Amino acid sequence: MPGCVSTYMPNVPNVPMFTQKGELSAGGHVTPKGNITFNTAYAVTDHFAVVLNGSMLNSERKKMDFRHNLLEAGGGYFTTFGPNQERILEFYAGYGGGSSDRVEKDKHQDGTLHLKRMEADFSKYFVQANFTSKRKKSLKLLKREFPLNYGTTLRASYVNMHDYKINGEPAKEEDNIFLEPIFYTRLTLNPSVQLQYTSGTTFGLKNRDALTAAYSVFSLGFVINVGGRNLGR
């Protein structure tokens, strides 16, 4: 049977990099597994923002089919600091939920196909801290300079399964606490659009069979940010 699988797949964390009231951020990211994340956020005041995140996966492969979706919302605090106010610190917390449907396929030597289907709903609580340094370096390409932003996110998530079934029969439900240290680099294409590469890993604090830390966060995507201050110039 396939290994290194889990009923839960983490989404790309929301890092809006806000600097002032009225700022709006929206982003889309995709992982090598095909998990697509959509993130949006809005700065309600000069230090408080709300976030809305979603992700979805629909993968059909020879050894496994996997469908997964997640929607979460939250809010938090952001501030800028440093000599030119070019560093950003953000704290967010929120709640969400989703579902998972995984079918593992095992073809026996006699040609018969054995299927194991695992279905579950789940709830999720998360807290995260983002630290970003804006425009420390630039990438020179085609006689142009593209500013680079670097950052780190530390996210902790509590995920709890509901209505877990294996081949249609009720199964033992699980929970887990995931710690995710994540690093991101943004290439500024213009003042409002940035290309983001995200990398990170996931640690599960509990030993589980189905709700495990089987997937890391590697993605490529775009982030659009409007209404912010130009920092670090």
Query: Position of tokens 């699980």?
Result: 174
What is the per-residue pLDDT for 136?
61
Kindly report whether the global pTM for this prediction surpasses the value 0.85: yes
Between CA 123 and CA 108 the distance in angstroms is 36
The SS3 call for residue 14 is: coil
User: What are the tens digits of pLDDT across the range 175-197?
Assistant: 999 999 999 999 999 889 999 99
Q: Quick one: pLDDT at residue 3?
A: 44
Q: Which residue has the higher pLDDT, 31 or 232?
A: 31
pLDDT of residue 233: 36
Output the six-digit token pair for 51.
Answer: 């976030």
- Within a 10 A sphere around the Cβ of 193, how many other Cβ atoms? 13
Q: Say which residues have a Cβ less than 8 Å from residue 42's Cβ, sequence separation at least 6.
A: 23, 24, 25, 49, 50
Q: 24-226: what fold?
A: Lipocalin (2.40.128)
What's the confidence (pLDDT) of residue 168?
93
CA 205 to chain CA mean position, Å: 19
Looking at residue 107, what is its pLDDT? Answer: 78
pLDDT above 90 coverage of the chain, percent: 71
Mean of per-residue pLDDT scores for the chain: 90
Q: What is the pLDDT of residue 178?
A: 97
Q: How confident is the model at residue 5 (pLDDT cuts 50, 70, 90)?
A: low
Q: How far apart are CA 54 and CA 96, in angstroms?
A: 9
pLDDT band, very low/low/confident/very high, at 54 (cuts 50, 70, 90):
very high
Residue 142 has pLDDT above 80, yes or no: no
Domain residue spans of the chain: 24-226
Question: Residues 52, 70: contact at Cβ < 8 Å?
Answer: no
Which segment of 89-93, 106-110, 134-138, 229-233 scores lowest on mean pLDDT? 229-233
- 79 and 86 in contact (C-beta within 8 Å)? no
How many other C-beta atoms lie within 10 A of the C-beta of residue 143?
5
Rounded to an integer, the average pLDDT of 145-168 is: 93
Q: Which two tokens stand for residue 134?
A: 């804006």
Task: Please work out, in degrees rounded to the nearest 5, the angle formed at the alpha carbon of residue 42 by the alpha carbons of 179 and 94.
Answer: 30
Residue 1 clears pLDDT 90, i.e. is over it: no
Taking residues 1-28, what's their average pLDDT?
86
Strand partners, 89: 79, 131
* CB-CB contact of 13 with 178 (8 Å): no
| Rounded Cα–Cα distance for residues 75 and 49 (Å) | 6
Asked if residues 103 and 131 have their Cβ atoms less than 8 Å apart, the reply is no
- Tens digits of residue pLDDT in 64-122: 899 999 999 999 999 999 877 789 999 999 999 999 999 988 877 777 888 899 999 99
pLDDT band at 135 (very low <50, low <70, confident <90, very high): low
Instruction: State pLDDT tens for residues 12-21.
Output: 999 999 999 9
Q: How many CB atoms lie within 10 A of CB 154?
A: 15
Q: How far lies 98's CA from each of 17, 125, 181, 227, in Å?
A: 26, 12, 22, 32
Residue 2 has pLDDT above 70, yes or no: no
